[in-house]
Amino acid sequence: MPRPPRCRRICGAPRVDTFRPNGCEDTEPILLTLDEYEVIRLVDLEQQTHERCAAQMDISRSTVQEIYESARRKIAVCLVHGKPLHITGGNYRICGGQEPAHCGRCCRMQRAKMENQAKIAKEIPL
């Protein structure tokens, strides 16, 4: 019996979740999961290694590589065949700044913002 998959840690949902080329109104979209989105964001945009990405997402390096290959294949299909891309679903949990410090810069910034807001709330008399 296979072991259940680990829930992948992501820093947050994307601000934009749908990309659609002009002239493809009735084409079935390609679905990119949020964990695939996060791997693309960390490896390609943040230029992290697969090992560092794995540590941040709390999964193995080989899982990062599998997710990365799947995500790149889906993005290639969208670009080459002019299909829409929709980012949704997947096996993930959103960190929201509540995870250990190695979760990433955006989570540390979010945690600092929450701590600053709590500090301000304590200082304001009612």
Statement: residue 2 has pLDDT above 80: no
Helical packing angle, 61-81 and 50-57, nearest 10°: 100
Confidence check: pLDDT of 101 > 50: no
DSSP 103: G
Query: If you ran DSSP here, which 8-state letter would residue 11 be given?
Result: S
* H-only helix segments in 1-126: 34-40, 50-57, 61-81, 105-123
pLDDT at 105: 55
Nearest Cα neighbor of 87 from 52, 40, 54, 26 is 40
The total of other beta-carbon atoms located within 10 Å of residue 46's CB is: 14
Mean pLDDT of 49-66: 94
Rg from Cα positions in the chain: 18
Top mean pLDDT of 13-27, 69-83, 95-109 is at 69-83
Mean pLDDT across 15-23:
90
